[in-house]
Amino acid sequence: MEETLTPTKTLDVCGKICPYPDMDTITTLKKMAKGEVLEVLLDYPLSVERIPRNLKKQGHKLLSVEQIDGPNHRMLIEAHGLK
């Protein structure tokens, strides 16, 4: 049985295009404590590819990426705790 994760914070960047979804995600994560979970709702296909790469460079952990419908995706990210 899979455990349901409750996000600490939700960031909705639907309707935003490059580079805003990526920048907003990283900026929000920098303000979060280690272990907190950020839910990101997005609909920009390039960010679905780029955000996971940027997370790795920043030390954050991608927990899941889920396609909701069409271009809409939901990502769960564990913050590294940079603050």
Which of the four pLDDT bands, split at 50, 70 and 90, describes residue 82? low
44 to 16, 77, 80: CA distances (angstroms): 7, 17, 24
For residue 59, pLDDT beyond 60: yes
Would you say residue 34 lies in a domain? yes
Which of the four pLDDT bands, split at 50, 70 and 90, describes residue 5? confident
Which of the four pLDDT bands, split at 50, 70 and 90, describes residue 25? very high
Q: Are 21 and 47 in contact (CB under 8 A)?
A: yes
Task: Output DSSP code: residue 68.
Answer: E
So what's the pLDDT on residue 3? 57
Which of the four pLDDT bands, split at 50, 70 and 90, describes residue 66? very high
Q: State the catalytic residues.
A: 18
The C-alpha atoms of residue 80 and residue 82 are separated, in whole angstroms, by: 6
Structural domain tally of the chain?
1
Comparing 32 with 83, which gets the higher pLDDT?
32
- Domain of 15? 9-78
CATH of the domain at 73: 3.30.110.40
**How many CB atoms within 10 Å of residue 30?**
14
Nearest C-alpha neighbor of 5 from the set 51, 29, 37, 52: 37
